[in-house]
Amino acid sequence: MNKMKNLILSCLSMMLCMTISAQTVSFVPNWKKGDKVSFNYEKKETKKSGDETSIITASLVINLTVVNKDANGYTLNASFANPKQSGSDKMAAALFKIYDEITFDYKLDATGKLIGLADSAKVIAVMKEIYKKISKDDPMVSLGLGLMGGGAQDIYLTGLLDEIVLIHSLNGITLEPNKTVEVKKEISTSFGFNIPASYNYTLESAKGTIANVKCSSNLTNEDIMPAFIDFGIQIASSMMNNLSALFQNEEDKEKVDMNTIIQQQRDEFEKKYKESFDLKITDTFNYALDSSSKWLNSLSGTSTISGKAENNDVNVVTEIKITKK
């Protein structure tokens, strides 16, 4: 009798284990207003171009608070602490100081997918004031921001959300063990522009409430080219508009057909890109998420840009680590 009982219990235990291992895991949050979480963020970027190598390291604490929840989704506030950056890029290090003062609200839909900033105009106004302070301490930052004008604001505004994008990457996704789900997103590059991409997510294991997910993405030169050209045109056009305002009177401005000039620039950029660039981007990240709280538990991985740019070998390896405190 006892043997039969033990056999039944063993079978039930095996069935339960099979059910747990085969279950789907959904990352749709159910947070409450007032919920808070903090993360340690670390990044190391190693950039090689020809014979030159530069290394930039950065770290900060990201504090998130759910400030509102309704039928349409969530509003979260992001604030930061202890921003540190070191390396050979003085302008990037100076601009990283923005995390000393910046805070902003952003929105997620009802499934937790990132929508964007709640009030981008307000954030831009704050960024301008912070950049003014930074520019007083570093004339080169002032010159760079002045030449890029609105283009710089757009680039760094997008950059503000880079870490937030990673934290919420799996929100709204349902995964089954060993089945890959393809999600359309954008890759944020170290060069300051985003590229449309397909990310592949695979649920590798689920132990207790922690689900381990692998993410990968591969882009070819043909995938990168349109975004690269648009970025180049954006910067060039912004610089031209700023220089035009400085050196032309109103009568001369009317004679300039900016649309024609921009199209000519685009044609030149495309020709130069096809002749001088051959790049690929490979992303590999490992996530550990709490399937109960729906918060990221940890993330680690690398994003690699490799190939040739203007006949120079290029290799940019960005290592990222995010850990829930």
User: Is 301 or 158 the better-scoring residue by pLDDT?
Assistant: 301
Average pLDDT over residues 252-277: 66
Is 24 contained in some domain? Answer: no
Average pLDDT over residues 74-83: 94
User: Is 193 or 275 the better-scoring residue by pLDDT?
Assistant: 275
Is 20 contained in some domain? Answer: no
Is 264 contained in some domain? Answer: yes
Residue 117 pLDDT exceeds 80: yes
CA 192 – CA 68 distance, rounded (Å)? 31
Is 259 contained in some domain? Answer: yes
pLDDT for the residue numbered 36: 96
Residue 83 pLDDT exceeds 80: yes
Is 22 contained in some domain? Answer: no
User: Is 128 or 151 the better-scoring residue by pLDDT?
Assistant: 128
* Confidence band, pLDDT 50/70/90 cuts, at residue 132: confident
Q: What is the CATH number of the domain that holds 249?
A: 2.30.230
Is 29 contained in some domain? Answer: no
Average pLDDT over residues 231-255: 57
Average pLDDT over residues 9-35: 64
Residue 226 pLDDT exceeds 60: yes
DSSP per-residue string spanning 154-169: HHHHHHHTHHHHHHTT
Range(s) of the domain holding residue 55:
35-324
pLDDT for the residue numbered 275: 72
- What is the overall mean pLDDT for the chain? 77
Average pLDDT over residues 160-170: 85
Percent of all residues in the chain with a pLDDT value above 70, rounded to a whole number: 68
Is 200 contained in some domain? Answer: yes
Is 68 contained in some domain? Answer: yes
User: Is 60 or 238 the better-scoring residue by pLDDT?
Assistant: 60
List the beta strands (DSSP E) in 176-227: 180-188, 194-207, 210-219
Among 29-43, 109-123, 185-199, 200-214, whose mean pLDDT is lowest?
Answer: 185-199
Query: Looking at beta carbons, which pairs linking 311-316 to residues 24 or more positions away fall under 8 Å?
Result: 311/276, 312/49, 312/50, 313/48, 313/49, 313/50, 314/48, 314/49, 314/279, 315/46, 315/47, 315/48, 316/45, 316/46, 316/47, 316/48, 316/190
User: Is 309 or 6 the better-scoring residue by pLDDT?
Assistant: 309
**In total, how many domains does the chain have?**
1
CA distances 36 to 65, 68, 216, Å, are 4, 12, 29
CA 152 – CA 194 distance, rounded (Å)? 14
Give the residue carrying structure tokens 């689900």.
211
